[in-house]
Structure formats: C-alpha cells, structure tokens
C-alpha cells in the first residue's frame, strides 16, 4: 500500500487511515520525501481527537478531545504506573513522571499518575522496521481517528545499556507519540527518530495539540488602610478587688457522643469529590461498599488504607486532600492508614 508523506506533527490518526496495521513507533518506515514541510497544526476541516479512557473512573471518562476547528481542550493526562513495581529498574517511574512533566511544561497538559491508558512496561519489541537499534516502542491503538490506548514497551537489554540521559530521552520521545505527535524531520529535536533533546520545535508541536488556557485576571489588591494612632488617657480609679465566685460547672459528655460531635465538626468542612454544596452525613463503614463514591466513618482499628477493600480513599486535612489509590505505587500515595472515628470518601468500582 502506498504511504503518503504527512506533516511531522499531524495526529497519528491520520497515519492510521493510510496503514491497516500500525506497528510500534520506535522507528519509522521509509516514506517518499515531502515536497514542502507543511504546518504542524492539525487540519481545520477534520475532526481530530486524542482520547485516553481513564480506567480508574470506570465510566466513559476522556482525558483530551479536540473540537471541529482543531483546538484541544487541555484536560489532565493520566498514565498508569501499576506495573512499574514489578520491573527491575526502580527509577523507571521517575523517568516517566519527568517525561510527562517535560511535555506539560510547554503546553496546557496537567499530567498525574493513577490508572490511565498510557502504560510503560518491560517486554519484547516488535521486529525493527528500519533499523535494529531500538530501546523502546510506543504501540498506539486507535478508535476511528482518536488514540484510545498507548503502551510504551521497553527492551530490557538495550535499556540498561543507556546512560541516565539516554533513558530519559527514550521515554520522553515515546510519550510524545502517546500524546499524539509523529516523528519530526528537524534534526536534533526530541521527536526526530535519532532524537537528542527537547527543543522549541517539540514545544511548538505539543502546544499546537494542547494550547494553554488564559487565566482570569486577578482582582486588584485593595490599598493598605492607614493606621491612626490612638491615645489612651488613664484617670484615677479605685482599686479592683477580686471576689472569687462559685466554680463553673463543666458539663460531662459521654465518650461516644464526644467522638460523634468531633467527627461531625471535622467532616463538615470536607466537600465530596463532586464538589457539592454540602456533604452528606457520613455513615459507619459496614464492610461491603456500593459501587461508586461513599462517605463513611471508619469504625474498626487503625489499619493500612488497603484494608478497606476499595479502589481509592480521600481525606481532607485543613485545605489539602490526602489520597490513596490502589493502582498507584506506594511512594505516590499520601494517605497511609485509616484512623478510627475519621470520615473518608471511598471509591469502589
């Protein structure tokens, strides 16, 4: 089948329509040289899409979609680290996180880990298309013109032959494919098949797919009020004589009622994940949880968060949320244990 030359930054879905089966993108098959390097921006007359379903949410949640005009909605991008704990390189999760943050720094992406449809695993690669020196491939699955799943597969032997700089560039390059970028013909850029480093060309490509949104203009800061000094004049007064009165009576509260009152006071400030105006009253944890989000009070002993048998646990402490996700590695979870008498938001698929 004849393969047509395309723009280096046209979405991968355009290539999928020209090839019935698309292997990994670690290297590129020969294509006729383009007569003129076209614009990296998507064609405005096509409905473009990059869709990654979030496994954790269960329902049809999508991380990024494009409008008819080709402008992307900058929604969070999520990647899975559930399999990284079984790999022999403990630094792989850090390389993935740094690669996603590199693409986010030049675009409107807001990446975070936790059960998404971008996965990074060690495993055998597909037969090389152009040359045999490959250390990783991005295997992209399509649904129509949209990316529905992406797996970055790392060759174990060639991975450990790279230095730290080379490993980071390999993962950043393959994650660029997962985010919708094709190979670039510009030398010395990240998305070139013989990549070297992140450049302004890469930044322009990812920004075309995920433009930054304009932030609202902050309200002006009111001027500091002028402090007027106050002069106090003390006149002669008769001395005050302390007359002790009866000791105040301190009401007694049963232990169970005191705990219920404390729980009610603390959870009244915790909005549910859906940001409702007022949270519902928490119910005691009864062992079996219904599917979806539940607002419960942990009544057992202090245990690890995984003992709840759910997929996620959230707790509001002050103005910050602490979280535990079953699909995340332990070093990314900030909620280690469940405390008796504390109310939590829990999620179960």
**CA dihedral over 42, 48, 50, 54, signed as positive or negative:** positive
Judge contact between 72 and 201, C-beta under 8 A. Answer: no
Its sign, for the CA torsion 299, 305, 308, 311, is positive
Residue 2 has pLDDT above 60, yes or no: no
Tokens found for residue 319: 């103005």
40 or 283: which leads in pLDDT: 283
Specify the pairing of strand 146-154 against strand 49-50.
parallel
Boundaries of CATH 3.40.390.10 in the chain? 12-209
Residue 202 contacts residue 184 (beta carbons within 8 Å)? yes
Q: Among positive and negative, which fits the CA dihedral 164, 170, 173, 176?
A: negative
As a whole number of angstroms, the distance between CA 18 and CA 5 comes to 10
Tokens at 136, concatenated: 């990783």
Compare 160 and 34 and report the one with higher pLDDT.
160
Whether the CB-CB separation of 184 and 192 falls below 8 Å is answered with yes
* Gyration radius from the chain CA atoms: 28
Helix axes 164-178, 92-104, angle to 10 degrees: 60
What is the distance between the alpha carbons of residues 138 and 172, in angstroms, rounded to a whole number?
A: 11
Give per-residue pLDDT as tens, 172-227.
Answer: 888 888 888 888 888 888 888 876 688 888 898 888 888 877 555 556 777 777 76
- Tens of pLDDT, residue by residue over 117-176, are 676 766 555 544 333 346 677 766 666 666 677 778 777 778 788 888 888 888 888 888
The mean pLDDT of 68-78, rounded to a whole number, is: 39
Tokens read off for 199: 């450049």
Instruction: Write down the mean pLDDT value for the chain.
Output: 63
- Model-level pTM greater than 0.85? no
**DSSP class per residue in 66-104:** B-TTSPBP-PPPEEB-TTGGGSS-TTHHHHHHHHHHHHH
Tell me how far apart the alpha carbons of residues 141 and 279 are, in angstroms, rounded to a whole number.
40
- 12-209 has which CATH code? 3.40.390.10
Q: Is the pLDDT of residue 285 over 60?
A: yes
């Amino acid at each position: 089948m004849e393969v047509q030359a395309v723009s280096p930054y046209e979405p991968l879905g355009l290539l999928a329509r020209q090839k019935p089966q698309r292997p990994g993108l670690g290297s590129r098959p020969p294509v006729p040289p383009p007569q003129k390097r076209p614009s990296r921006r998507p064609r405005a007359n096509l409905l473009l899409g990059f869709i990654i379903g979030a496994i954790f949410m269960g329902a049809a949640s999508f991380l990024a979609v494009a409008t008819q005009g080709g402008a992307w909605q900058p929604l969070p991008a999520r990647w899975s680290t559930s399999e990284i704990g079984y790999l022999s390189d403990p630094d792989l999760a850090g390389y993935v996180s740094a690669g996603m943050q590199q693409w986010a720094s030049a675009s409107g992406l807001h990446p975070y880990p936790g059960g998404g449809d971008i996965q990074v695993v060690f495993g055998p690669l597909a037969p090389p298309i152009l040359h045999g020196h490959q250390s990783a491939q991005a295997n992209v699955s399509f649904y129509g013109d949209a990316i529905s799943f992406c797996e970055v597969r790392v060759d174990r032997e060639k991975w450990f032959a790279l230095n730290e700089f080379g490993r980071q560039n390999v993962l950043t390059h393959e994650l660029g494919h997962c985010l919708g970028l094709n190979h670039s013909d510009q030398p010395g850029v990240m998305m070139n098949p013989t990549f070297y480093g992140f450049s302004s060309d890469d930044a322009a490509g990812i920004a075309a797919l995920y433009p930054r949104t304009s932030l609202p203009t902050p309200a002006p800061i009111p001027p500091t009020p002028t402090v007027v000094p106050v002069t106090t004049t003390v006149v002669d007064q008769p001395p005050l004589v302390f007359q002790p009165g009866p000791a105040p009576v301190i009401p007694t509260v049963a232990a169970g009622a005191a705990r219920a009152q404390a729980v009610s006071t603390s959870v009244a400030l915790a909005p549910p994940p859906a940001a409702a105006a007022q949270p519902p009253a928490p119910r005691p944890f009864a062992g079996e949880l219904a599917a979806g989000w539940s607002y419960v009070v942990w009544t057992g002993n202090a245990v690890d968060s995984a003992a709840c048998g759910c997929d996620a646990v959230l707790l509001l402490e002050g103005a910050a949320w602490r979280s535990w996700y079953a699909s995340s590695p332990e070093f990314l979870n900030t909620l280690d244990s469940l405390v008796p008498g504390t109310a939590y938001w829990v999620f179960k698929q």
